[in-house]
Amino acid sequence: MNVIALAGGVGGAKLVHGLAALLSPEHFSVIVNTGDDFEYCGLKISPDLDTVCYTLAGLANPETGWGRRDETWTVFEVVKGLGGPAWFQLGDKDLATHLARTEWLNRGLSLSEITQKLCHRWGVEHLVLPMTDSPVETIVHTKAQGSLGFQHYFVEQACQPMVRGFAFEGATQAAPAPGALEKIRAADLVILTPSNPWVSIDPILAVPGYRDALVEKVVIGVSPLVGGKALKGPAAKMFSELGIEPCASSVAEHYGALLSGFVFDHQDSDELEKIQRWRIIPLLTNIIMKDVQDRVRLAREVLTFGESVSDRSQ
Ligand code: FO1
């Protein structure tokens, strides 16, 4: 079975890790959000690409999910000592990634080419594609502080400002990364991983071509919320601030007609009827991924569920 996952931050990377353990590189590729990308100290940083690649390479920091394990922080401690910026923490090994990517971008390589070079070095055999090679910036419109770049909202302001909405600057002028649409068209199953719908999956869907390509596919969404709370990050807070109940069925409704099936947690079984109302086939299971075994277990359940949904839609 050919599978494509759309992923953003840490939650999405965990399920991608489980799927990659079950599917060979010929049968599984990932399309990653680049709306979080920004420039910091002159360096071009692609956090979600790095989080997915580090996770697949076994290099990810197990505590935070982002950045690298066994990290040292010498360079940015000295930068801080000089009075330089320190709000976005870059470890020394992670810094090397940003130095290499920035140099290669300045030499004219595409984000796709750079991601392949890095994946080759890190021993990641599955194809990891940026959603586009063009610049797209997620802007968070907030009540008290106007429009903020995503990392300024997420890290510098620690997700505190109340959100009013989002914009994905550059998305309408962007095109899917080379090969991305072909991979989706060849897929038997597309998985919207448990990333933040607003700022990890929506930026991908905002790039022209993706929504149309997904229309005739079997698409399974996985809830990033359990019991009305996000497993990590501001997804539930964003739903509330936008006046929407933060719950699994709100996530299913957010994706709406895109979804053939939706995977959510036993704790939210009371939402089963609501989800079925939208003719979305439900799968209730334990969607919390505490360790690698959980990632593989959930991935296996999602794949089995995807096959059954695919059989029913034929
Ligand atoms: N998230 C933080 O909350 N604080 C940080 O200092 C931070 C640094 C950082 C460095 C590299 C990287 O790839 C990710 C980093 N993140 C940090 C996470 C980043 O904000 C991502 O955008 C989130 O994981 C959401 O996708």
Give the model confidence (pLDDT) of 77-134 as tens digits. Answer: 999 999 999 999 999 999 999 999 999 999 999 999 999 999 999 999 999 999 999 9
Distance 11 CA to ligand 1 centre (A): 13
Task: Indicate where the chain has its CATH 3.40.50.10680 domain(s).
Answer: 3-135+172-313
| Contact between residue 310 and residue 189 where contact means Cβ atoms under 8 Å apart | yes
Q: Rounded to an integer, what distance in angstroms lies between the CA atom of residue 235 and that of residue 215?
A: 25
Residue 123 CA to residue 120 CA, distance in Å, equals 5
Q: Give the H or E element holding residue 310.
A: helix 292-313
State the Cα–Cα distance between residues 97 and 118, nearest whole angstrom. Answer: 8
Ligand 1, atom 13, lies closest to the CA of 47
CB contact at 8 A, 288 and 1 = no
Residue 195 CA, closest ligand 1 atom number? 26
Cα-based angle 305, 207, 90 (whole degrees, multiple of 5)? 85
Distances in Å between the alpha carbon of 106 and those of 96, 113, 175?
15, 13, 20
Atom of ligand 1 nearest to the CA of 154: 20
What pLDDT sits at residue 215? 96
At residue 220, does pLDDT exceed 90?
Answer: yes
Pick the CATH number of 3-135+172-313 from 2.30.30.90, 3.40.50.720, 3.40.50.10680, 3.40.600.10: 3.40.50.10680
Q: What percentage of the chain exceeds 70 in pLDDT?
A: 100
Cα separation, 54 vs 67, in Å, equals: 8
Question: Is pLDDT above 90 for 313?
Answer: no
Could you tell me if the CB of 305 is within 6 A of ligand 1? no
Cα(76)–Cα(94) distance, rounded to whole angstroms? 11
Top mutation candidate among 10, 43, 88, 237 for ligand 1, by most atoms within 8 Å of CB:
88
pTM: 0.98
Cα 200–chain centre separation: 5
Average pLDDT over residues 211-225: 97
Taking the C-alpha atoms of residue 213 and residue 230, their distance in angstroms, rounded to an integer, is: 28
Determine whether the shortest distance from the Cβ of 203 to ligand 1 is under 6 A: no
> For ligand 1, atom 23, which residue shows the shortest CA distance?
9
Q: Say how many Å lie between the CA of residue 66 and the centre of ligand 1.
A: 6
- Indicate if ligand 1 lies below 6 Å from the C-beta of 176: no
Ligand 1 in reach of 12 Cβ (< 6 A): no
Q: Which of 117, 136, 138, 137 is nearest to 128 (CA)?
A: 117
pLDDT in tens, 134-170: 999 999 999 999 999 999 999 999 999 999 999 999 9
Radius of gyration of the chain (CA): 19
Task: Find out whether the beta carbon of 262 lies less than 6 Å from any atom of ligand 1.
Answer: no
Mean pLDDT, residues 211-219 taken together: 97
DSSP state of 67: S
